[in-house]
Structure 1
Amino acid sequence: MSPAVILTRPFSTARAFLAHEAAGGIVLILAAFAAIMLANSRLAPLYFGGLDAQAGGLSLLHWINDGLMALFFLLVGLEIKREVLGGQLARWSDRSLPGVAAVAGVALPALIYVVINRDSSASLRGWAIPAATDIAFALGVLALLGRRIPVSLKIFLTAVAIIDDLIAVLIIAFFYTDGLNLPALAGAGVGLSILILLNRGGVAALWPYLLVGFGVWAMVLHSGIHATLAGVAVAMTIPLRPRHGQPVSQSAPLVRLEHRLHPFVAYGIVPLFGFANAGVSLAGFGLFDLLDPLPLGIALGLLLGKQIGIFGSVWLLVRLGWADRPRDAGWRQIYGVALLCGIGFTMSLFIGGLAFGEGSHHADAAKIGILSGSVASALLGFLVLRRSPLRMDKK
Structure 2
Amino acid sequence: MRSAVRTFLSTEAAGGIVLIAAATAAMLVANSPVAQGYFDLLHLKAGPLSILHWINDALMALFFLLVGLEIKREFVSGHLARWSDRLLPFVAAAAGMAAPALVYMALAGGTPGLARGWAIPTATDIAFAIGVLALLGSRAPASLKLFLTTVAIVDDMGAVAIIALAYTPAISGPALLAAALILTAMVALGRFGVRRLSPYLLLAAALWVAVLLSGVHATIAGVLAAFAIPIDGDGEGSPLHRLEHGLHPWVAFAIVPLFGFANAGVSFAGIGIADILQPLPLGIALGLFVGKQIGIFGSIRIAVACGIAERPAGASWTQIYGVALLCGIGFTMSLFIGGLAFSDPLLGDEVKIGVLGGSLLSAVAGYVLLRFVDTKS
Query: Which TM class, normalised by the smaller chain length?
Result: over 0.9
- Is residue 300 from structure 1 mapped to residue 286 from structure 2 by the alignment? yes
SS at structure 1 position matched to 2:214: coil
Q: CA RMSD in A?
A: 1.2
Matches of 2:67 and 2:328, distance apart in 1: 19
The share of aligned pairs that are identical, in percent, is 61
CA contact (8 A) 1:280 1:364 kept: yes
Residue by residue, what CA displacement relative to the aligned partner does 1:239-272 show, whole Å, maximum 9, x if unpaired?
A: 001xxxxx43111100000010000000000000
CA contact (8 A) 2:69 2:227 kept: yes
Counterparts of residues 82-231 of structure 1 (less than 5 Å): 82-231=73-222
1:6 equivalent in structure 2: none
Matches of 2:14 and 2:33, distance apart in 1: 30
Structure 1 consecutive aligned stretches of length 4 or more whose deviation exceeds 4 Å: none
Matches of 2:122 and 2:279, distance apart in 1: 16
Matches of 1:344 and 1:288, distance apart in 2: 23
The TM-score with structure 1 as length reference comes to 0.94
**Structure 1: segments with no counterpart, 5+ residues:** 1-8, 242-246
- Is residue 56 from structure 1 mapped to residue 47 from structure 2 by the alignment? yes
2:355 equivalent in structure 1: 370
Give 1:389 shift: 3.6
Residue by residue, what CA displacement relative to the aligned partner does 1:306-337 show, whole Å, maximum 9, x if unpaired?
A: 00100011111111221111111011100000
- Is residue 330 from structure 1 mapped to residue 321 from structure 2 by the alignment? no
Residue by residue, what CA displacement relative to the aligned partner does 1:258-309 show, whole Å, maximum 9, x if unpaired?
A: 0100000000000000000000111231122111111100000000000010
Give 1:79 shift: 0.5
Matches of 1:184 and 1:322, distance apart in 2: 44
- Is residue 278 from structure 1 mapped to residue 269 from structure 2 by the alignment? no
1:348 equivalent in structure 2: 334
CA contact (8 A) 1:24 1:136 kept: yes
Deviates more, 1:147-156 or 1:178-187: 178-187
Number of residue pairs matched by the alignment: 377
2:9 equivalent in structure 1: 18
SS at structure 2 position matched to 1:283: coil
CA contact (8 A) 2:30 2:267 kept: yes
The structure 2 residue matched to 1:288, chosen from 274, 278, 286, is 274
**Structure 2: segments with no counterpart, 5+ residues:** none
CA contact (8 A) 1:123 1:362 kept: no
CA contact (8 A) 2:109 2:118 kept: no
SS at structure 2 position matched to 1:222: helix
The TM-score with structure 2 as length reference comes to 0.98
Matches of 1:276 and 1:302, distance apart in 2: 21
Letter in 2 for 1:53: L
Letter in 2 for 1:83: E
Letter in 2 for 1:362: L
Matches of 1:291 and 1:82, distance apart in 2: 42
Letter in 2 for 1:217: W
Letter in 2 for 1:271: P
The structure 2 residue matched to 1:256, chosen from 233, 236, 242, is 242
Give 1:29 shift: 0.2
Give 1:231 shift: 0.3
- Is residue 387 from structure 1 mapped to residue 372 from structure 2 by the alignment? yes
Matches of 1:260 and 1:225, distance apart in 2: 27
Residue by residue, what CA displacement relative to the aligned partner does 1:194-240 show, whole Å, maximum 9, x if unpaired?
A: 10110111100000000011001011111100000000000000000
Matches of 1:363 and 1:20, distance apart in 2: 30
Letter in 2 for 1:291: L
CA contact (8 A) 1:333 1:388 kept: no
Give 1:40 shift: 0.7
1:4 equivalent in structure 2: none
SS at structure 2 position matched to 1:236: helix
